[in-house]
Amino acid sequence: MKVGIIGAGIAGLSAAYDLLDAGHDVTLFEASETTGGLARGFQDEAWAWPLEHFYHHIFETDDDIINLTRELGIGDTLFFPTPRTSMFHEGKIYPFSNPVDWWKFPTFDPLSYVRFGVVGAFLRYTKFWKYLEKYTAADWTRRFYGKKIYDLMWKPLLIGKFGDHYKNVNMAWLWARLHVRSFKLGYFEGGFQHFIDRLTEAVTNRGGAILLQSPVSCVEPQADGTLVVTANGARTTFDKVLHTTSPALLAKIAPSLPPSYLAQLQKLDSMGAVVMTFALKQSLLTDGTYWLNLPAISADKAQNPIPFLAIVEHTNYIDREHYGGDHIIYAGDYVNPDHPYMTMDEDELADIFLAAFSKFNPAFDRSWIRKRYLFRASYAQPVPLVNHSENIPAMQTPVQNLYLASMSQVYPWDRGTNFAVQIGRKAANEMQKENLQ
């Protein structure tokens, strides 16, 4: 087959890797100047390692990306530290990484501690996610964890991730996050960019063509079942085409899709992501915390004590010697694609974010900042509503030989590099099965 793949993120690269291995001719179209999608990195002149635009790690249970890493011959570059997760509560930072920390947490009485452990264990080991998707995460956690734990933990998480959608997200989403979680978190020597570079190299070494800065404007079906892809004004004919970016983009570039399928694509909600990264001369989270969960009471950022979802000190997880001695801080948030954060001037956004830093460390001063970086993505987190499994579009679209493999289809799992590998390889297998029939 002659296959076109739209998007050279991890899903597109993984699909290309398998299709090329099976002897097919593959061309990838990537709108940006690099491969890797949301996992790609950038590198300051002072650093030995690149850093991700959006903070990344994997779990010990993420078999798909771990197995692909081994296939690429870089399994020895993946390592699993055990960083500290903490809670910011009433102006103080409390460790919250393990059962001992949970017991010591000031608002946890013995009943809360037992309830947190028992319900958490149920979610960790049950496989009945189809039952859980019938309920919203807000209602289910309030009922089974209790109002105290809901208000302290799950409500802020849901608000931070989903904004004004938070009351409607289904419980299977939260189950998926807890079901695969591990205390140890994986990272690559050389960052995720090292994995992306090796996967990209494997694709090109197998004969794949990667066309960068080549946004696709149209996919047109032909009478003989082939598809014509238009990118930068050039038209190329393919036997099959796989779209790996947002469903909304597919709806835009493939208007020949039937109205029912287009409506299904357009009905899928998603959140954008905004991350501002700071290279500091001093540590912000001096207790060694990697990931600090922050309080939230409203989907309106201005009403919350902290105007973003999480503060992440990457160099409390990965040694700062790889970053020229800088202390790397991520201040990250998920917002609606039309939220002011998505278009706000960088200086204005930095003022909003930095105003909170002294709450985490009263000694913080803006003179600590050596450099800052801002990255935004309009499609970063699908919003799974009640009974979401009924809303997922089929991988094979109604247009003959046109396929979709997006973050919105990895459900019940949450988006991430592991499931990008999984759905990319699943799409490659599906396309080949259809070809044999």
Query: 137-188: per-residue pLDDT in tens?
Result: 999 999 999 999 999 999 999 999 999 999 999 999 999 989 988 889 999 9
**What percent of the chain stands above pLDDT 70?**
99
Q: 327 is written with which tokens?
A: 């202390």
Give buried/exposed letters for 272-287 (b at 16+ CB in 10 A, else e): bbbbbbbbbeebbbee
Q: Model confidence at 108, in pLDDT bands (50, 70, 90)?
A: confident
Angstrom CA distances, 113 to 105, 138, 176, 286, stand at: 9, 19, 22, 27
Tell me the whole-structure pTM to 2 decimals: 0.94
Q: 79: which strand partners? A: 187
Q: What is the mean pLDDT of the chain?
A: 95
The CATH architecture assigned to 2-39+191-267+391-436 reads 3-Layer(bba) Sandwich (3.50)
Q: 387 is written with which tokens?
A: 């009974």
Q: What is the pLDDT of residue 435?
A: 63
Q: What is the pLDDT of residue 278?
A: 98
Using DSSP bridges, classify how beta strands 270-280 and 369-382 pair: parallel, antiparallel or unpaired: antiparallel
Is the pLDDT at 82 greater than 80? The verdict is yes
pLDDT, tens digit (0-9, with 9 covering 90-100), for 360-419: 999 999 999 999 999 999 999 999 999 999 989 999 999 999 999 999 999 999 889 999
Q: Model confidence at 195, in pLDDT bands (50, 70, 90)?
A: very high
Q: Is the dihedral of CA 128, 131, 135, 139 positive or negative?
A: negative
As a residue count, the chain comes to 437
Q: Model confidence at 16, in pLDDT bands (50, 70, 90)?
A: very high
Span between the terminal Cα atoms of the chain, in Å: 13
Q: Write out the DSSP string of 180-198.
A: S--SSEEEETTHHHHHHHH
pLDDT, tens digit (0-9, with 9 covering 90-100), for 296-341: 888 888 888 899 999 999 999 999 999 999 999 999 999 999 999 9
Mean pLDDT, range 121-130, rounded to an integer: 93
pLDDT, tens digit (0-9, with 9 covering 90-100), for 20-40: 999 999 999 999 999 999 999
Instruction: Report how far residue 383's alpha carbon sits from residue 243's, in angstroms, rounded to the nearest whole number.
Output: 20
Q: What is the pLDDT of residue 303?
A: 87
Instruction: Report how far residue 307's alpha carbon sits from residue 318's, in angstroms, rounded to the nearest whole number.
Output: 26
Sheet harboring 2-6: ordered strands across?
209-211, 25-29, 2-6, 240-243, 402-404
Residue type, 121: A
Mean pLDDT, range 197-223, rounded to an integer: 98
Contact 25, 3 (CB under 8 A): yes
CA dihedral 155, 157, 162, 168 (to 10 degrees): -40
Question: Residue 412, preceding bond cis, omega within 30 degrees?
Answer: yes
Structural domain spans, the chain: 2-39+191-267+391-436, 98-179
Instruction: Report how far residue 330's alpha carbon sits from residue 55's, in angstroms, rounded to the nearest whole number.
Output: 7
Q: What is the pLDDT of residue 334?
A: 94
HSE value, Cβ hemisphere, 13 Å, CA-based, for 88: 26
Instruction: Report how far residue 100's alpha carbon sits from residue 113's, in angstroms, rounded to the nearest whole number.
Output: 10
Q: Is 86 helix (H, G, I), strand (E, B) or coil?
A: strand
Angstrom CA distances, 104 to 96, 101, 348, stand at: 9, 5, 39
Rounded to the nearest angstrom, the gap between the alpha carbon of residue 72 and the centroid of all alpha carbons in its chain is: 22
User: Kind and range of the H or E element at 406?
Assistant: none
Using DSSP bridges, classify how beta strands 84-89 and 289-293 pair: parallel, antiparallel or unpaired: parallel
Mean pLDDT, range 83-111, rounded to an integer: 92
Place of tokens 């990118």: 231
HSE value, Cβ hemisphere, 13 Å, CA-based, for 168: 12
Q: What is the pLDDT of residue 212?
A: 98
Q: What is the pLDDT of residue 388?
A: 94
Instruction: Report how far residue 295's alpha carbon sits from residue 96's, in angstroms, rounded to the nearest whole number.
Output: 14
Instruction: Count, in order, helices (H) and strands (E) of the chain.
Output: 15, 20
Is the pLDDT at 232 greater than 90? The verdict is yes
Instruction: Report how far residue 91's alpha carbon sits from residue 305's, in angstroms, rounded to the nearest whole number.
Output: 10
